[in-house]
Structure 1
Amino acid sequence: MHRPVIIDTDPGVDDFIALMLAKQSDRLEIRGVTTVAGNLPLEIVTQNALNIIDFLDLHVPVAKGASKPLKRQQESAEAFHGKGGLGGVVLPISQNRYVLQPAWDFIDEQARQAEGRLELIALGPLTNVATALLKYPDLKKRLKCITFMGGSTGGGNRTPYAEFNIWADPEAAQIVWESGIPLRMVGLDITLKGVLKAQDIQDVLRLEHPYTLVLRYLLEFLQQVNARVGQDFVPLHDALAVASVIDAQLLDYTLGCGIVETESEVYRGRTIVRKPLLENRQQPNVWVGLDVDREQFIHLLKGILQTGQTPNL
């Protein structure tokens, strides 16, 4: 049975690849895409989402969400995603429009319809999810789980302490982390283990599938971006988060007690996860990815892109 999901996203080069992977998977039923300001401003990411789902021939609604964080100014990461946010790839402009419902209303409606089976995959700041939880307090009882790309148990990429998605709206992240919904964190420290090396990229680009040409542009752009910071590999942050939903065996997790730093500007967005202890009054609230089977991730990526079938372990 296909698992119903909503993908909350801010496309974004790796978001593009994540949507591509989700669309090709034989295990996910994408109920819709919601957009949030993050990598780029809201109007740009929303148009990108519409263009991407047209390109992928993915017939699902797009709902526009938050244009800024709950309590802070919006700051984007355009420098890492190229002109237009898609690594220089120019897609035909979609003639479709986003639905009139804001993202948080759409999420709640879909959760009601799915009767406890809906999963959220959050690939950007958690503003939409937090807004939905504030407006619909019972939503936490209707969502099966949330898998999010964000946070880190090590260093960050926006500051030495914080990963961008959590740093962008730490108050929203705190609301989600305190919601009681089963959470799975695919953090920066894990996505930097599930990387594509030069030979992996060549192997992926030898495959024949409908998206080979655009995938070449995206991966070559990411190679150039990462080479500028001395990295000879390409992390696919958001695609790994989607892959972890498709294949539950891909990541090793541990259950922890997590908090988000919202008070200190120096440590803003820092995610701290501790082991549950008897003397610790905080209840465990997040399954944290500890490791990833990199070879299986690449095997899964190639298999799904080429055939639409999830390969066996």
Structure 2
Amino acid sequence: MQTHKILLDTDPGIDDFFAMLLLADAQNVELCGVTAVAGNQVMDKIVRNARGIAALLGWTCPVAAGAAGPMCLPQITAGEVHGDTGLGHFPLPAPTAPLDARPAWELLYEQARALDGALEVLAIGPLTNLAVAFLAHPDLPRYLRRIVVMGGSTEWGNRGAYGEFNFYVDPHAAAVVFGAGVPIDMVGLNVTMQTGISDAEFDGIARLVGETGRAYSELLDFYRNIYRDNDLGFQIVAMHDSLAAALLMDEGVLDLRPAAVRIDCSPGPCRGRSLVDFASQTPNARVAVAVDRPRFWELVLHSLRRAQSDFRIQKSDVRC
């Protein structure tokens, strides 16, 4: 079994959290670092969540703070989806390790150089940290094996008609990353929306995790109610970031096809749109076009079973 040496770039975020549960359950993933980027919430809340989740999961890798906003545009968050904390009412434990002194892009660069081409990046937030790393270190591409990106879409968006949230927040950063010359796997809304959870599946998850895992099912229920109570344009709740994480665990969960991807950085309704050309003779990415839903959900449910037994929330550990 091939081991993937991963740096996780994230803006946790409810769906980020469940992606992190998947990584904690992966037998073929070695986590080399976690870098935080503003996106789903403002930076101090994102860093707090990243450190708290790392403590919950027993991760000892460095956790570093990164960009507090986009490269060129005003900050946008998604508190209307993820709540004021970024994680609904989930009772995270207090962090157990200090925040790494390096900024996210320096941690990324140093880890990539140390691993000399073996490092892969799982990027499930806006791509600002990665873009800064490429701009600061032009030699970085030679040290990266692959970037798996949750972002973009081959069709419609969830911010306006075409923009997916991560690319919409910082389209200029996405353009830098897709132009860097590193192999990229793009997991966009066109496939993540195929992971939508039905009411019956919600009920099954609640039964699966039971009383000891109630905090996990309540977080999913918070996520579901947000979609129900607000006009977000979708009638299902999708596990966007978990699908990108699942690709590292099992390549068979997604059908990926080569394409040339460009990012629209213009203002207006096309901001953040990913222009995907499957006919191009010069592809710069593999783009997911279909998901094996049962295979994906088998991974998710296994991670939740482990969480309710191994990552229990102790009241004495909960931060105020």
Query: 1:120 — aligned with what?
Result: 121
CA distance, structure 1, for counterparts of residue 295 and residue 253 of structure 2? 7
Which amino acid counterpart does residue 300 of structure 1 have in structure 2?
L
1:105-137 deviation per Cα after TM superposition (whole angstroms, max 9, x unaligned): 100111112221111000100000011011111
CA contact (8 A) 1:257 1:275 kept: yes
Matches within 5 A, 1:255-294: 255-277=258-280, 283-294=282-293
TM-score, normalised to structure 2's length? 0.90
Residue aligned with 1:272, SS = strand
User: 1:174 and 1:55, CA in 2 relative to 1: closer, same or farther beyond 3 A?
Assistant: same
Query: 1:34 — aligned with what?
Result: 35
User: 1:266 and 1:50, CA in 2 relative to 1: closer, same or farther beyond 3 A?
Assistant: same
Query: 1:306 — aligned with what?
Result: 305
CA contact (8 A) 1:197 1:232 kept: no
Query: 2:244 — aligned with what?
Result: 241
Which amino acid counterpart does residue 56 of structure 2 have in structure 1?
F
Query: 1:204 — aligned with what?
Result: 205
CA contact (8 A) 1:198 1:233 kept: no
Residue aligned with 1:173, SS = helix
1:288-313 deviation per Cα after TM superposition (whole angstroms, max 9, x unaligned): 110101111111212244359xxxxx
Q: CA deviation at 1:85?
A: 0.9
User: 1:116 and 1:209, CA in 2 relative to 1: closer, same or farther beyond 3 A?
Assistant: farther
CA distance, structure 1, for counterparts of residue 29 and residue 71 of structure 2? 30
User: 1:114 and 1:207, CA in 2 relative to 1: closer, same or farther beyond 3 A?
Assistant: farther
CA distance, structure 1, for counterparts of residue 258 and residue 210 of structure 2? 38
CA distance, structure 1, for counterparts of residue 101 and residue 159 of structure 2? 33
Query: 1:194 — aligned with what?
Result: 195
Among all aligned residue pairs of Structure 1 and Structure 2, give the percentage whose two residues are the same amino acid: 37
Contiguous gaps of at least 5 residues in structure 2: 308-320
CA distance, structure 1, for counterparts of residue 211 and residue 139 of structure 2? 41
CA distance, structure 1, for counterparts of residue 119 and residue 200 of structure 2? 37
Query: 2:162 — aligned with what?
Result: 161
User: 1:264 and 1:72, CA in 2 relative to 1: closer, same or farther beyond 3 A?
Assistant: closer
The answer to whether 1:250 aligns with 2:253 is yes
1:12-59 deviation per Cα after TM superposition (whole angstroms, max 9, x unaligned): 111111111111211111111100010111111001111111112222
Q: CA deviation at 1:266?
A: 2.7
Query: 2:295 — aligned with what?
Result: 296
Residue aligned with 1:90, SS = coil
Residue aligned with 1:253, SS = strand
CA distance, structure 2, for counterparts of residue 164 and residue 72 of structure 1? 14
CA contact (8 A) 1:87 1:217 kept: no
CA distance, structure 2, for counterparts of residue 6 and residue 214 of structure 1? 27
CA distance, structure 2, for counterparts of residue 66 and residue 20 of structure 1? 24
User: 1:211 and 1:136, CA in 2 relative to 1: closer, same or farther beyond 3 A?
Assistant: farther
CA distance, structure 1, for counterparts of residue 280 and residue 96 of structure 2? 54
Query: 1:184 — aligned with what?
Result: 185
Residue aligned with 2:50, SS = helix
CA contact (8 A) 2:8 2:33 kept: yes
CA distance, structure 2, for counterparts of residue 62 and residue 93 of structure 1? 14
User: 1:211 and 1:120, CA in 2 relative to 1: closer, same or farther beyond 3 A?
Assistant: farther
The answer to whether 1:9 aligns with 2:10 is yes
CA distance, structure 2, for counterparts of residue 211 and residue 128 of structure 1? 36
Query: 1:102 — aligned with what?
Result: 103
CA distance, structure 1, for counterparts of residue 133 and residue 259 of structure 2? 24
CA distance, structure 1, for counterparts of residue 267 and residue 176 of structure 2? 17
User: 1:305 and 1:115, CA in 2 relative to 1: closer, same or farther beyond 3 A?
Assistant: farther
The answer to whether 1:174 aligns with 2:192 is no
Q: CA RMSD in A?
A: 1.8
Bigger Cα displacement from structure 2, 90-99 vs 60-69: 90-99
